[in-house]
Amino acid sequence: MATDSGELRDSGEPIVPGPNSVGFVEKRSATLFVPPNPLRLAGGGELGPVTVSYETYGELSPQKDNAIFVCHALTGDAHVAGWHTPQDRKPGWWDEFVGPGKGLDTNRYFVICANVLGGCQGTTGPRSLNPQNGEAYGLNFPFMTVGDMVEVHAELVRSLGITKLLSVVGGSLGGMQVLEWAARYPAMIQSAVCMATAAKLTAQGIAFNAVGRRAICTDPNFHSGQYYDKPQGPNVGLALARMVAHITYLSDASIEMKFSRRLQVGDRLSYDMMRQIEFQVESYLHHQGKRFIERFDANSYLYLTRAMDYFDLAEGRGSVAQALSQTNARFLVTSYTSDWLFPTIQSKELVRAMIEAGRHVTFIELESAYGHDAFLIEFEWLERLVRPFLEQTLLAVRQSSFGVR
Amino acid sequence: MATDSGELRDSGEPIVPGPNSVGFVEKRSATLFVPPNPLRLAGGGELGPVTVSYETYGELSPQKDNAIFVCHALTGDAHVAGWHTPQDRKPGWWDEFVGPGKGLDTNRYFVICANVLGGCQGTTGPRSLNPQNGEAYGLNFPFMTVGDMVEVHAELVRSLGITKLLSVVGGSLGGMQVLEWAARYPAMIQSAVCMATAAKLTAQGIAFNAVGRRAICTDPNFHSGQYYDKPQGPNVGLALARMVAHITYLSDASIEMKFSRRLQVGDRLSYDMMRQIEFQVESYLHHQGKRFIERFDANSYLYLTRAMDYFDLAEGRGSVAQALSQTNARFLVTSYTSDWLFPTIQSKELVRAMIEAGRHVTFIELESAYGHDAFLIEFEWLERLVRPFLEQTLLAVRQSSFGVR
């Protein structure tokens, strides 16, 4: 998803974080699965050591009971909130939702986010060097799944001395990870917030991913994934993949509102086939493609979209209800009226399965014109839901701990 | 749109047309706009002579009052119904709707369809030779609009000795042409059937077209449109354009029904990044891309999608209502519940404008799971609407002619 939330600074003046910002934050890194204990992947491969890039916000309580893990979406990263330097152009991708007094209130909670396995923002992925030959993996990176991503993040959480998470929170592919957490580590999470997500991707979603991958793989600069030592990678294909994906993140109404049929130059049509960009919406999409290639790796895009295609919470577990039957976690599920990539009907199916599994679940379809991207944009209602949901979870956890003592 | 309707024959046996087929039909060709009377295009260019490929079905009445002009969609052609040879693999693209006793009943009506200007199925387009230098036009083909397409078809109709059409019928880009007919030649048409269309394309529609054009123009084999004498054209880009467009022609429900998450090979996931096609929906899309490049020209795709982007019935006419205020034609407008490329809301806007213009209009939103392609697939309800609509139009025409005598 776009990590477009947050303030854009074009003034060049150094940023001075406000009182409701987490302020300046540091990138951290952990080395896990060190041989002879490598990560064993669902597809049969092994990886080790695995580097995990992560950030934390707020303070871990002495009882270590206030940790929340945030799962980022397809093209996100560990930098959820705050600024790395005063020169940053924008803050973390969920800065409006994570900070002092915000939805995930860093005055109360210890928030962790890590780049996913297979990503390209610090965690081991296809661009990393294969320790066996010192070369970038490319397509020799082992096949990986959403389950493998969660496996790595669970190990990170344990390495931080945390045995139970107050909550796991995420949208889209991040929401798939949240569901996988609940199925894979049922005792490790006390609650889960699943936003704009589903127990599996629709065939239409797979179709859009297929087009994106096709654009990358047919780019003459792809070189079967071994493009890292070449002057140029499959930038054209990656930009195309982003363009088509970006359309699926917006709603028809939000594109209409933002651009309608407005022209890029002047108010008269050019009647010129040489002009590739005539309408503003075209310029916007081209710009999205261009910005994306500056920050993302094409091989990561292939691996992560494939992991998304593969994700099926029920697979090997009988059903979605059975997959969620082992956890006592409370669930909060949100969908968005104009999201057609992960439509509300899928959230409802998920909620039905949660109820069937006897889980405590709160569900709301939020009114939004922003399509799938709504979970990165609409915070007012979300905060009103998430804050009491987390408070009640923490209260229940502390009461139960107190009772046990 | 896909011209995928009709019977597929893989047996190799020669076809024997049934009693409700138009049978074997011939491609025809007309040469119009012969210098010194060239076609003057909306963008300022000139073309002449213009070759128009067309077909007709049924018999023109002695009064010449039973002619119906069919406008094809983006990637269609003049071959609406019947077979060219006994070896044809499938019949014309609307064979289920056009024939003896069918929706457009060739026992009663004289049906004409012609390939559009800028197309690649016989009518002058970017692949045609420029008479000034004997070379294929490529991107030197003049800029053209939906209005220019209609200009050419109106001239064809006149050249057949027909001064009034009983009806103009079309869906999608074909429906845009129908609307343009009503605005441009208000006295020439007695009725109009507008299916799955709109007075202008949405910004989302422009966005999808932009991705398709980008895929073509960034293909290294595009050579700025001058690829006709090269060993290969921009097939990879054109196939990609088709893949993404094809998704927009289907509904999420129809893709889900047809493919769900079924695998292409066996019933186990491969966990193999080298396997580019894992799910059936991927195979289907790749196949659509592959078939498309066998029959379509990339430059035509650029020109026709751009014409579609440009189309705005109200432009230069004040409003849609004003654009339709000069005609006495009766309108039948259909939309389809699962069509998200030309959603029902756009048909309703159109109908409101027709009512404002004082036109006689029948509107129905038809229930269908087939998305935008529904107008090429769903005929049962459509026939029930179209047949009486045309009968009443013909009756009114003949009564009025009789009254005049």
A75-79, B24-28, B303-307, B397-401: least confident range: B397-401
A-B Cβ pairs (cutoff 8 Å, strict)? 149
Q: What 3 state SS string does chain B have?
A: CCCCCCCCCCCCCCCCCCCCCCCECCCEEEEECCCCCCEECCCCCEECCEEEEEEEECCCCCCCCCEEEEECCCCCCCCCCCECCCCCCCCCCCCCCEECCCCEECCCCEEEEECCCCCCCCCCCCCCECCCCCCECHHHCCCCCHHHHHHHHHHHHHHCCCCCECEEEEECHHHHHHHHHHHHCCCCECEEEEECCCCECCHHHHHHHHHHHHHHHCCCCCHHHCCCCCCCCCHHHHHHHHHHHHHHHCCHHHHHHHHCCCECCCCCCCCCCCCCCCEHHHHHHHHHHHHHHHHCCHHHHHHHHHHHHHCECCCCCCCHHHHCCCCCCEEEEEEECCCCCCCHHHHHHHHHHHHHCCCCEEEEEECCCCHHHHHHCCCHHHHHHHHHHHHHHHHHHHHHHHHHC
Contacts of A218 in chain B (CB under 8 A): 236, 240
Interval B83-121: pLDDT, tens: 999 999 999 999 999 999 999 999 999 999 999 999 999
Selection from A75, A62, A104, A98 nearest residue A393 by Cα: A104
- Tell me if residue A172 is catalytic: yes
**Length of chain B (residues):** 405
pLDDT confidence of residue B167: 98
- Which of B203, B271, B274 minimises the CB distance to A260? B203
Angle (nearest 5°) at CA B75 between A285 and B292:
85
Region B316-345: what's the mean pLDDT?
97
pLDDT confidence of residue A232: 95
Among chain A residues, the shortest Cα distance to B241 is held by: A211
Q: Which one of A339, A347, A368, A373 is the catalytic residue? A: A339
Region A105-133: what's the mean pLDDT?
97
pLDDT confidence of residue A7: 47
Contacts of B317 (CB under 8 A, 6+ apart): B183, B323
The ipTM (two decimal places) reads 0.94
User: Average model confidence (pLDDT) for chain A?
Assistant: 95
Interval A165-208: pLDDT, tens: 999 999 999 999 999 999 999 999 999 999 999 999 999 999 99
- In sequence order, the β-bridge partners of residue B52 are B30
8 Å CB contact of A306 and B273: yes
Region A74-86: what's the mean pLDDT?
97
Interval B143-152: pLDDT, tens: 999 999 999 9
- Which of A43, A141, A236 minimises the CB distance to B271? A43
Q: In the structure encoding, which two tokens stand for residue A147, read together?
A: 């389950």
Phi, psi of B28 (to 5 degrees): -120, 170
Helix axes A280-295, A252-259, angle to 10 degrees: 110
- Which of B44, B255, B312 minimises the CB distance to A203? B255
Contacts of A71 (CB under 8 A, 6+ apart): A113, A116, A153, A168, A169, A170, A173, A174, A175, A177, A178, A181
pLDDT confidence of residue A8: 53
- Hey, what domains does chain B have and what are their CATH numbers? 28-200+315-404 (3.40.50.1820)
Mutation for testing the A interface, residue in B117, B200, B204 having most A CBs under 10 Å? B204
A392 half-sphere exposure, CB direction, 13 A CA radius: 15
Interval B30-41: pLDDT, tens: 999 999 999 999
User: Average model confidence (pLDDT) for chain B?
Assistant: 95
- Tell me if residue A79 is catalytic: no
Contacts of A215 in chain B (CB under 8 A): 215, 240
pLDDT at position B285 over 90: yes
- In sequence order, the β-bridge partners of residue A30 are A52
Region B159-179: what's the mean pLDDT?
98
8 Å CB contact of B243 and A206: no
pLDDT at position A3 over 50: no
DSSP reduced 3-state for A114: strand
Helices (H), A100-251: 146-159, 173-184, 203-217, 235-249
Q: Which one of A21, A128, A172, A300 is the catalytic residue? A: A172
pLDDT at position B374 over 80: yes
* CA gap B163, B95 in Å, rounded: 26
- In sequence order, the β-bridge partners of residue B56 are B112
Interval B193-252: pLDDT, tens: 999 999 999 999 999 999 999 999 999 999 999 999 999 999 999 999 999 999 999 999
* CA gap A83, A77 in Å, rounded: 14
Among chain B residues, the shortest Cα distance to A277 is held by: B210
8 Å CB contact of A211 and B272: no
Q: How confident is the model at residue B402 (pLDDT cuts 50, 70, 90)?
A: low
Contacts of A375 (CB under 8 A, 6+ apart): A1, A171, A172, A195, A196, A334, A336, A382
Cβ atoms B41, B143 nearer than 8 A: yes
pLDDT confidence of residue B1: 37
Minimal CA separation from A354 to chain B, in Å: 22
pTM of the predicted protein model: 0.95
Cβ atoms A111, A58 nearer than 8 A: yes
Report the DSSP pairing between strands A330-336 and B39-40. Answer: unpaired
8 Å CB contact of B281 and A343: no
pLDDT at position B7 over 90: no
